[in-house]
Amino acid sequence: MPELVGTRKITNDAGGIVSVEHVLSLTIDELVQSRRIDCLIIECEQGFSQLGQMEDFLTMDLALATNPNLQWEVDGIKEEIYPTLRGLADWARYRSPEITFVGIPNANPSGLLKGIVLSPYEGSRSYTRFSAQDYILAFRDFYYNVSYETIKYAAERLKATRLAITHLSREKYRGAYKWDVTTCQIEALQHFLQVNASIESFSFLDVAPGNKPLEILDRMTHFRKGIHRPISVKSTSHGGLDFVDIEWPDHEPKD
């Protein structure tokens, strides 16, 4: 059963009200069936993870392939892709050095979601070039740009209005949330709301207590928000899915 931790109301630049929620839940089916979420941005980690727990529901709702032997060869992408949810997540997680998210629009006419986005995260191979030793520090440009572009894709490409996002760290399953990651997600949301008024609600979907998105949001409302700096975005589509590479020119990867 999803647990609502709290809610805040913020405004977009058009004066509209956006509901920001913090929800604890390992699964998503009840939130989707109750129309609280129509798009999920989730890290591409399989196994005992949020995505792993949601695999059956998402595969059914999105009408994704279930044949593990099905392979795609996509123009411009050197690796073969297995278009099951598990195969797509594994491909996205191990893709490197490109920073790539996978957009999955819902082609199921009876599906409840508009789609989902498989996002790079701390455990992605593409993140290792940005990480300090032992992943102690969060590389903020990575988390901010990944968050902004996935939110933008969900709102503009998928036409979603009730978004949910998971925390993009590895330690969250033991309750050790990196608040710098949450801060980047909130900053990305605030910047996107300056240029797009379509989002009605935005949920931070966590698996355990420890994250503090609403408290961070409260603190950040007292600071000047700044503006988003556009980055390079290249999208390749195949089989109804989108493979989106992002890159920014001024990053300084760590050795």
List 232's β-bridge partners, or say none.
247
**pLDDT tens digits for range 125-152:** 999 888 765 555 678 899 999 999 999 9
Q: Is the whole-model pTM more than 0.85?
A: yes
**Structural domain boundaries of the chain?**
3-247
From first CA to last CA, the distance across the chain in angstroms is 43
**pLDDT tens digits for range 118-130:** 999 999 999 988 8
Q: Residue 10, exposed/middle/buried by CB under 10 A (0-12, 13-18, 19+)?
A: middle
Rounded CA separation 161/36 (Å): 10
pLDDT score, position 255? 42
**pLDDT tens digits for range 78-124:** 678 888 999 999 999 999 999 999 999 999 999 999 999 999 999 99
pLDDT score, position 136? 56
* Between residues 76 and 172, the one the model is more confident about: 172
CATH architecture of 3-247: 3-Layer(aba) Sandwich (3.40)
**pLDDT tens digits for range 64-78:** 988 776 777 787 776
